[in-house]
Amino acid sequence: MSGIRRGPNPRLGFGAALLLAASMLFLSCTRETEGPAQVKYLIGVSQANLSEPWRIAMCEDIKAEAARHKDIRVVFSDASDSTQKQIEDVRHFLSYKVDLLIISPIDSLALTPVVTEAYRTIPVILLDRAVEGFDYTLFIGPDNLQIGREAGRYVTGLLGSSAGTVLEIQGRPGSPPTLGRSNGFNEIISKRKNITVLPPIGADWLKDRAEDNFLERMPASPSVDVVFAQNDSMAYGAYLAEQKAGRKNIKFIGIDGLPGPNGGIDLVRRGILAATFICPTGGKEAIEYGVDILNHREGIPKKIFLRTRKLTPTDLKTEKLPAPYVEATTKPAGKKIVIGFAQVGHESHWREANTVSIKEAVAKAGFDLRFVDCENDPAKQIQAVRDFIKRQVDIIAFSPIVESDWEPALVEAKAAGIPVILIDRAVDTKDDSLWVTYVGSDFLEEGRRAGRWVLDAMKDRGDVKIVELQGTRGSAPAIDRQIGFDETILGHPAFRIVRSESSDFTFEGGRTTMKRILKEDEGRIDVLFAHNDDMALGAIKSMEEAGLKPGRDIKIVSVDSVRTAFEAMIAGKLNCTVECTPLLGPQLVKAVQDYMAGKYLPIRIITSEGVFPAETARSELPNRKY
């Protein structure tokens, strides 16, 4: 794994850690140690600021989890919202030879070079915000787009069928959390024509700024019904502004759900907020995964997204707060873990490699596997899951053939106390507690990567006509790859999708669909975007039969990165493949082991993947395992 220095750092003991803490004015952990022999690993934490309550809570979560590991020590730096200081802090950590870095970037773009520099020598975990590119070991954060959507759904439900006026108070301009939460919120709100959305207010995540800016805006916005603030501090600041202005009846919604006085939970309990969304800081997970990384554990993902939970006054009437995770369990010692796995089928090279990876990893871990090939039949897959429930397996895992119709079977699994792990594809359910975690790829990002390649490869063309071959209709990868690709080329009017048809992720589907398109459309086709390599390879065959030169007459980008795609690129017939790795067995096994050890799993575990243009094919082919 890139960025990992093997073994502990013998040059850093307790005294060096103290020197580092003193020289950088760090906040060190309060855990006492008896001597340098106890400290095996030193972890540096570069925090963006300690003015936001959520970031203070993040540091406390890091300290609490670190205290459980007697062989590590953690030291902190506070960049005080200065990008230059954060860059200097990271370099200072590197000069003291820390074993692992945890960074919560102020500015994703500005921090990219120094993060890349650090990643060349040690593991780097990014918290809350990622950087440009993929030069880091692991990203941990909330799914800000999904949080925004959930907030939007709550606001529309709050207003009911009535018309209303909504004001959004945003965090730092241009930051990923700000953009994601705003985009998700407006995606939902825009569907209601009787809701008026006012121009947003910026408040940089700060209570006082939100109070001042909302108080200033109020005379021009006399009829605000709901204020959606992107964190609880700003929501509270807006509420204080309402009190000063003598206004009433505005509903306030926030995000974070922190405990303590004036935290989100307290504000909901006091009736100040109509709702908050509990958003884990990721501090606990950063240490958990950091320890796994330092100990070279298999199955480390590239990204994990943490589960969020809505909290309303109704929820506070129960004895237990809604948790941002599914309760974990433990397996009695000495009892073998039994996994039931319902595979889609064997429709492609990708799927075959996925099956092999899962079988090998499960066998290596010493688990028992009950495996069913569902032959691309959704009804057969649902029945397989129900059979696993009857057989009382310990874990059910499956790769859904389609997103819909899963709720009844998953409710049965939950009632039976059997956790469910989704592999490779997601399901569409109202209650995400019906499954423990998703292990796989970011299909939206794969679509975006394909779109970026097309924009770059065809940037000198004035009018680009694109044919899209989709995967199985209703499947998560087909839906998300299409959305990701579409949103990337949106705003580039020269790039147009002229045909978009399903070919079921198969070679034959790609061949027959492309043959028909070439026959029906006499106009020029510039680009083919295929949702997987098998469809692209089938389409290539039809192009050749029509007398065309694939890769030259029609540029082709596809998804999966199987060996045959690299061979096609070497032959000049395919131009780019976006990786969607099927080698998910180690990640599945780690998720099962963590769950059975009582750990809480994130809502999504995303594996590491790349993009391979044709010029890299010859050097990369020997490295392909599928």
Give the DSSP letter string of 299-331: ---SEEEE--EEE-TTGGGSSSPPPSSPPP-BP
Give the model confidence (pLDDT) of 225-268 as tens digits.
999 999 999 999 999 999 999 988 899 999 999 988 999 999 99
What pLDDT does 322 receive? 58
What pLDDT does 28 receive? 40
pLDDT (average), residues 79-99: 96
User: Is residue 21 scored above 70 in pLDDT?
Assistant: no
pLDDT (average), residues 415-439: 91
Residue 410: name the closest of 386, 390, 387, 391 by CA.
386
Calpha distance 134→408 (Å, rounded): 39
Give 316 or 94, the one with higher predicted confidence. Answer: 94
Please name the residues in contact with 266: beta carbons below 8 A apart, sequence gap of 6 or more: 259, 260
Ordered by start, the domain boundaries in the chain are 14-136+282-300, 144-278, 338-436, 443-580
- Cβ-contact 428, 404 below 8 angstroms: yes
Give 331 or 54, the one with higher predicted confidence. Answer: 54
DSSP alpha helices (H): ranges in 218-330? 232-245, 264-269, 283-294
- Cβ-contact 241, 211 below 8 angstroms: yes
| Ranges 329-338, 432-441, 448-457: which has the least confidence | 329-338
> One fold for both 14-136+282-300 and 443-580?
yes
CB crowding 332-371: b at 16 or more within 10 Å, else e? eeeeebbbbbbbbbebbbbbbbbbebbeebbeebebebee
pLDDT band of residue 402 (cuts 50, 70, 90) is: confident
Give the model confidence (pLDDT) of 511-555 as tens digits.
999 999 999 987 889 999 999 999 999 999 999 999 999 999 999
> What are the backbone angles phi and psi of residue 478, rounded to the nearest 5°?
-65, -45
Q: Which phi-psi region, left, alpha or beta, contains residue 481 (left: φ > 0; alpha: ψ -120 to 50)? A: alpha
Calpha distance 136→130 (Å, rounded): 9
List C-alpha distances in Å: 389 to 367, 410, 440: 17, 10, 23
pLDDT (average), residues 591-601: 90
Please name the residues in contact with 371: beta carbons below 8 A apart, sequence gap of 6 or more: 341, 343, 355, 359
Q: Which phi-psi region, left, alpha or beta, contains residue 376 (left: φ > 0; alpha: ψ -120 to 50)? A: left
Structure tokens at 503: 């070919």
Residue 477: name the closest of 512, 504, 508 by CA.
504
Average pLDDT, the chain: 89
| Ranges 212-221, 327-336, 592-601: which has the least confidence | 327-336
Q: Which CATH architecture has domain 144-278?
A: 3-Layer(aba) Sandwich (3.40)
User: Is residue 332 scored above 90 in pLDDT?
Assistant: no
Beta-sheet strands, E only, within 176-262:
195-197, 201-202, 226-229, 251-253
Give the model confidence (pLDDT) of 39-84 as tens digits.
899 999 999 999 888 899 999 999 999 999 999 999 999 999 999 9
User: Is residue 333 scored above 80 in pLDDT?
Assistant: no
Burial tier of 84 (Cβ tally within 10 Å: 0-12, 13-18, 19+): exposed
What pLDDT does 444 receive? 87
> What are the backbone angles phi and psi of residue 204, rounded to the nearest 5°?
55, 30
Calpha distance 4→2 (Å, rounded): 6
- Cβ-contact 583, 423 below 8 angstroms: no
User: Is residue 378 scored above 90 in pLDDT?
Assistant: yes
Q: Give me the CATH topology for the region 443-580.
A: Rossmann fold (3.40.50)
Number of H helices and E strands in the chain, helices first, is: 20, 25
Q: How many CA atoms lie within 13 A of 331 on its CB side?
A: 19
Structure tokens at 433: 């507690």
Please name the residues in contact with 488: beta carbons below 8 A apart, sequence gap of 6 or more: 447, 448, 450, 451, 452, 455
pLDDT (average), residues 88-97: 96
Q: Give me the CATH topology for the region 338-436.
A: Rossmann fold (3.40.50)
User: Is residue 8 scored above 70 in pLDDT?
Assistant: no
Give the model confidence (pLDDT) of 288-316 as tens digits.
999 999 999 999 999 999 999 899 998 88
Percent share of the chain, pLDDT over 90 = 74
H/E segment holding residue 134: none
The pTM of this model reads 0.81
- Cβ-contact 516, 510 below 8 angstroms: no
pLDDT band of residue 325 (cuts 50, 70, 90) is: low
DSSP alpha helices (H): ranges in 490-532? 507-520
User: Is residue 451 scored above 60 in pLDDT?
Assistant: yes
What pLDDT does 404 receive? 86
User: Is residue 324 scored above 90 in pLDDT?
Assistant: no
pLDDT band of residue 120 (cuts 50, 70, 90) is: very high
What pLDDT does 323 receive? 58
pLDDT band of residue 5 (cuts 50, 70, 90) is: very low
Calpha distance 209→493 (Å, rounded): 39
Give 75 or 1, the one with higher predicted confidence. Answer: 75
- Cβ-contact 206, 52 below 8 angstroms: yes
pLDDT band of residue 432 (cuts 50, 70, 90) is: confident
CATH of domain 14-136+282-300: 3.40.50.2300
pLDDT band of residue 30 (cuts 50, 70, 90) is: very low
Q: How many CA atoms lie within 13 A of 423 on its CB side?
A: 28
